[in-house]
A and B are shown apart, each in its own frame.
Chain A
Amino acid sequence: MRSASKNDWAGLSFNAVVIVLGCFGVAIMVLPVVVGFMMSLTAGNTIQFPPQGLSLKWYGNLLDPAQSGRIHAAAITSLKIASLATMLSILIAVPAALGMAREGRRFAFLEPFFMLPMVLPTLVFGIAALMFFVKLGVDPSFWLVVVGHTVIFTPLVFRTTVAVVSQLSPTLGESSMILGASRAHTMRRITLPLIMPGILGGALLVFMSSLDNVSVSLFLADARTNVLPIRMWRMIEESLDVRVAAISGVVIAVTFLLVVTASFFGNLVPKQK
């Protein structure tokens, strides 16, 4: 960093350690994804590494409605569930995170309680929730899955938002109000944009966790609600179907396009001052 010019050795050693460890961290995150992606490009019939020849045939197969129609249907269902659960969790967790910061210590005891859904095995939650809803006379359905996902994944947005909110300097809000801005205006113009990285980071976690959840969907879905991860899990168990790897490849490609167009990451990447 800039200190390097003043204090060369310390600055250089600091940067070296950051770069070496940081790159190691990045490698750990990226390597399995690269391997998984390469496995999807195989010309063979099973998921294998190294792939037996390169081909896009599994992507063709995956995108072909005749062969993968039910995967498409399941993907749409899962995307709907993930989007709804993400929106609901933002609507619920962001006010809670702001409130937690404002009310301060009085409600601090609630925080661990908000995090509890993360530490009950999802299979156990799935069963308990099903028993509870059946007692209420509510049968499994698409909406129960949405509710279930919202319950177990809201802590993700809550926690990432609390982290950012607790960093906000109170003077910012104060000065805005001293300058005559209304509370709502301050919220919209000052607070929300500032905590956006936290919200979006959490939202991304919720969205992807929901797309990957098996246990809760298994118990709270009715027979007509088929979600993608259950289907994928079965495809692997049945036949090591390469399309499962291709699905991940598609998700990566879509996200990559989003990054390139940058509309999405614009808010996640904090602006340099």
Chain B
Amino acid sequence: MKLLPMVILNGLFFMAPLFLLVGMSFSGDAGATTAHYARFFADPINVAVLRDTIYLGVKVIVFTTLVGYPVALLFMLLGPTGRRILLFCTVLPMLTSNVVRTLAWIAILGREGVVNNTLVGLGLTSTPLQFMYNELGLIIALSQIELPLLVLPLVSVLAKIDRSLWEASTSLGMNAWQTFVRIILPLSVPGLIAGWVLVFASACMNFVTQAVIGGARLIYLPQFIYQEVNTLYDWPFAAAIAIVMLTTIGIVLGALTAVGRNRRINVYA
């Protein structure tokens, strides 16, 4: 019963418009057609771009986990004041608008940006390095925005892990690494899954950052969709691409959730 409001919200205001889109994606001049889907898969570039988009999501997951998990562990190491400061740092990326964030990245990663000026100043390189308009720069920029999505659920889950578990494991002779791998990591899986789902979805979909930091030479699926919608006005084709993307990413999310579900979940409420 508790699921009902969300089922209604999604069913009425999301699935209904979505069905409209599905209908549109099969619409042609002469009745129903799969031509838009055929057209999408006929061009190898489209398929490659779809693959790149998924890969981008995966790379951002890997990167955010690599630096985000330690942030969450750092949180556990700190006292109340330290935690508050760290939490403030974690929500900071969400407090700056997309627009300002983007300009800041140009100032940091650009040809005449902070990083390059520092490198040149230190004599580490004579010509400015390229950080913008390549995948590395894009992954870093995306990670900045997506990190809170990973760290917040992770912290709330890690905080629930009983401290006595840490102590018990050390008294059993496990060192910090073993404790982490055998106890903390498995227990934090729900938090990780939550974070991964959110990070993956938004990294794949973040059109503005993809477009501005990646430039027009790195192409991901949202850009195709926006082009068809806003420039070429081929809405049936745009709908078809959107459905392909939704399905593909939906499958990845479903798989991630299924991994997380192999655990006993129970609550009294």
Contacts and interface: CB of A to CB of B under 8 A. Distances in A.
Contacts of A81: none
B207 A163 contact: no
B156 A270 contact: yes
Main SS class of interface, B: helix
Interface string B50-69: 00000000000000001111
A107 B114 CA distance: 50
A44 interface: no
Contact of A39 (B73, B93, B100, B254): B100
A31 B108 contact: yes
B176 A177 contact: no
Interface in B232-269: 235, 238-239, 242, 245-246, 249-250, 253-254, 257, 260-261, 263, 265-269
A204 interface: yes
A203 to B, nearest CB: 11
Interface string B17-47: 1101100000000000000000000000000
B153 A160 contact: yes
Given A35-B107, A160-B152, A119 B245 contact: yes
Chain A interface bracket (under 10, 10 to 19, 20 to 34, 35 or more): 35 or more
A128 B243 CA distance: 12
A25 B253 contact: no
Contacts of B121: none
A116 interface: yes
Contacts of B222: 121
Contact of B201 (A91, A119, A176, A236): A119
B87 A24 contact: no
Chain B interface bracket (under 10, 10 to 19, 20 to 34, 35 or more): 35 or more
Interface in B182-202: 187, 190-191, 193-195, 197-198, 201-202
Contacts of B201: 115, 118-119
Given A29-B92, A269-B80, A166 B156 contact: no
A262 B74 CA distance: 20
Given A121-B225, A165-B267, A251 B176 contact: no
A19 B77 CA distance: 9
A33 interface: yes
Contacts of B263: 166
A205 B94 contact: yes
A148 B10 CA distance: 11
B88 A255 contact: yes
B257 A156 contact: no
A114 B267 CA distance: 20
A26 B71 contact: yes
B68 to A, nearest CB: 6
Interface of A: 1-4, 6-7, 10-11, 13-15, 17-26, 28-33, 35-36, 39-40, 47-49, 91-93, 95-96, 98-105, 107-108, 110-125, 127-129, 131-132, 135, 147-148, 150-152, 154, 156, 158-160, 162-168, 170, 172-174, 176-177, 183, 186-187, 191, 194, 197-198, 201-202, 204-205, 208-209, 211-212, 229, 232-233, 236, 240, 244-245, 247-248, 251-252, 255-256, 259, 262, 265, 268-270, 272-273
Interface of B: 1-3, 5-7, 9-10, 13-14, 16-18, 20-21, 66-71, 73-74, 76-77, 80, 83-84, 86-101, 103-105, 107-108, 114, 140-141, 143-144, 147-149, 151-153, 155-157, 159-163, 166-167, 169-170, 174-180, 187, 190-191, 193-195, 197-198, 201-202, 204-205, 207, 222, 225-226, 229-230, 235, 238-239, 242, 245-246, 249-250, 253-254, 257, 260-261, 263, 265-269
Closest 9 pairs (CB-CB, A-B): A173-B268, A99-B2, A270-B159, A25-B67, A10-B175, A163-B194, A49-B107, A22-B74, A14-B176
21 contacts: A17-B70, A18-B74, A21-B67, A22-B70, A25-B71, A32-B93, A99-B3, A112-B257, A115-B201, A115-B250, A120-B242, A121-B226, A121-B242, A125-B17, A159-B153, A164-B156, A165-B267, A170-B266, A194-B160, A212-B98, A255-B95
